[in-house]
Amino acid sequence: MGQIKFLSGIFMTSLFAIAIITFAINFGIDNDSSVTLDNDPDFSEINSDLTGDIQTFNINANTSSDTIMSTTQETGDQSASSGGQFKVGTATGITTVTRVIRIGFKKIFGEDTNFGVVFTLLTSLLVFISGLYIWKAWKGNPD
């Protein structure tokens, strides 16, 4: 799994979460259900947050693409000095998947801190993998 697959998986997860939550909320509204997900503020909040993250990614990705299109390299240059164009999307992607994991743990395990270490490990691992992917795209294969 490379960086493109990794980020695609993250954003597909975000879209999947938005689709599921929106469907569940609208099912309750359409059928005038006695119990509806619309009454849970956590899900409504994460739904709007994920949508905002994807809109942010849209702006950043287009800005970064413009930068890449206008990039020139002098003879002998081997890599961009900042590598900013390789970092776009990763931070937003990690934010979205962190929101998804957090809401999952909160709903399944509650606020119990004993399970918090699992959430911490998962998000830390994703950040670590993202760092390696950025480095790989920017400078080559890390050891």
Partner 1 sequence: MANIYLQPTLTGGLDETLIEVATAVPSFVIGLLVFVWGLVFISGSATQKAKSGYADTPMWSVMASLSTMVICLLLTIKGGLINLETLGIVVAITIFSGLWLFMSRGRGEI
Which CB atom, from 22 or from 85, has the smaller least distance to partner 1?
22
3-state secondary structure the chain: CCHHHHHHHHHHHHHHHHHHHHHHHHHHHHCCCCCCHHHCHHHHHHHHHHHHHHHHHHHHHHHHHHHHHCCCCCCCCCCCCCCHHHHCCHHHHHHHHHHHHHHHHHHHHCCCHHHHHHHHHHHHHHHHHHHHHHHHHHHCCCC
Please tell me the count of residues contacting partner 1 according to CB under 8 A.
Answer: 34
Residues in region 87-116 near partner 1 by CB under 8 A: 97, 100-101, 103-104, 106-108
Q: With left for phi above 0 and alpha for psi between -120 and 50, is residue 32 left, alpha or beta?
A: left
Candidate list 39, 48, 65, 120; residue touching partner 1; CB under 8 A? 39
Which CB atom, from 47 or from 88, has the smaller least distance to partner 1?
47
Which CB atom, from 80 or from 91, has the smaller least distance to partner 1?
91
Does 43 help bind partner 1 (rule: CB under 8 A)? Answer: yes
Which CB atom, from 23 or from 59, has the smaller least distance to partner 1?
23
Where does this chain bind partner 1 (CB under 8 A)?
1-2, 5, 8-10, 12-13, 16-17, 20-21, 24, 27-28, 31-37, 39-40, 42-43, 97, 100-101, 103-104, 106-108
